[in-house]
């Protein structure tokens, strides 16, 4: 693993370049309150944000509170979220999560990672999505894109998402954690894709362990 100081310099340059390339790097999921983002993030597992946004247009009109989800007819909820895939498991997670929200937090989404991760269906990734994008509390979000891109760039040698999160926390300025995560997510979707990364047009190729070795 490279020296932390070198990686910190690389990260700052990556943030500078990608911020110009992706000026609107906000989260793609659509929401208007913490509960909506919580539900949307649960639905986004192994599903595109585009599809989730299509489903939540009507879902959010019908279910306005944690109690609405907690008291929902399971079969109806499953049918309403079916297009997102794995709908039975997701419906169970949503209902259990919202039941716990009612029981522990009066139906309100908590504002700390420690409280969020005790909710059914909520791991560190989902918790950091909510903290950073709703409450303005910095968090590193290690989704499939951040996982892949951070390894390729050479910012981590770990494969475990939690270990990657802590590696990035060490070298990314805390105030940039959420912004950096969103930048890598968009970069991973548009350029540093899984199977055939577009290294030839990548703006951070010279800063990338993987891209700098690719021949054209």
Mean pLDDT of 58-66: 98
Which CATH architecture does the domain made up of 4-26+140-213 adopt? Answer: Orthogonal Bundle (1.10)
List pLDDT tens digits, range 21-47.
Answer: 999 999 999 999 999 999 999 999 999
pLDDT at residue 93 tops 80 = yes
Residue 216 has what pLDDT? 56
Choose among 62, 69, 66, 90: nearest CA to 78.
90
Indicate which residues carry an active-site annotation. Answer: 125, 143
Question: Stretch 65-94: mean pLDDT, rounded?
Answer: 98
d(Cα 209, Cα 196) in Å, to the nearest integer? 16
CATH superfamily of 34-133: Hypothetical protein; domain 2 (1.10.340.30)
Residue-wise pLDDT for 148-185, tens only, equals 999 999 999 999 999 999 999 999 999 999 999 999 99
Predicted model pTM: 0.92
* Residue 111, number of CB atoms within 10 A of its CB: 15
Confidence of residue 3 (pLDDT cuts 50, 70, 90): confident
Residues above pLDDT 90, as percent of the chain: 94
Q: pLDDT at position 114, please?
A: 97
For the chain, give every domain's residue range. 4-26+140-213, 34-133
- Which tens digit of pLDDT belongs to each residue from 103-139? 999 999 999 999 999 999 999 999 999 999 999 999 9
Tokens read off for 178: 């959420």
143 pLDDT higher than 90 = yes
Residues 139, 130: Cα–Cα separation, whole Å: 9
Burial 42-53 (b: 16+ CB within 10 A, else e): bbbbebebeebb
Structure tokens at 25: 């790097």
Instruction: Check residue 213 and give its pLDDT.
Output: 77
Residue 178 to residue 186: CA distance in whole angstroms: 13
What confidence score (pLDDT) does residue 210 get? Answer: 86
Nearest Cα to Cα of residue 172 among 132, 206, 211: 132
Distance separating alpha carbons of residues 17 and 31, to the nearest angstrom: 28
């Amino acid at each position: 693993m490279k020296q932390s100081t070198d990686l910190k310099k690389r990260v700052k340059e990556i943030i500078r370049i990608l911020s110009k390339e992706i000026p609107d790097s906000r989260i793609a999921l659509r929401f208007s309150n913490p509960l909506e983002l919580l539900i949307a993030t649960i639905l986004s597992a192994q599903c595109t944000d585009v599809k989730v946004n299509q489903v939540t247009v009507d879902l959010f009109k019908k279910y306005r509170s944690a109690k609405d989800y907690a008291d929902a007819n399971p079969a109806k909820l499953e049918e309403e979220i079916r297009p997102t895939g794995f709908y039975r498991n997701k419906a169970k997670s949503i209902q259990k999560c919202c039941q716990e929200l009612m029981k522990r937090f009066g139906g309100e989404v908590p504002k700390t990672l420690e409280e969020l991760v005790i909710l059914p269906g909520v791991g560190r990734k989902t918790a950091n999505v909510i903290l950073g994008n709703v409450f303005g509390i910095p968090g590193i979000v290690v989704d499939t894109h951040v996982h892949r891109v951070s390894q390729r760039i050479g910012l981590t040698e770990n494969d475990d998402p939690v270990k990657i999160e802590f590696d990035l926390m060490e070298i990314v300025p805390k105030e940039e954690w959420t912004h950096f995560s969103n930048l890598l997510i968009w970069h991973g979707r548009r350029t540093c894709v899984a199977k055939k990364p577009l290294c030839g047009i990548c703006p951070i190729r010279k800063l990338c362990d993987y891209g700098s070795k690719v021949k054209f």
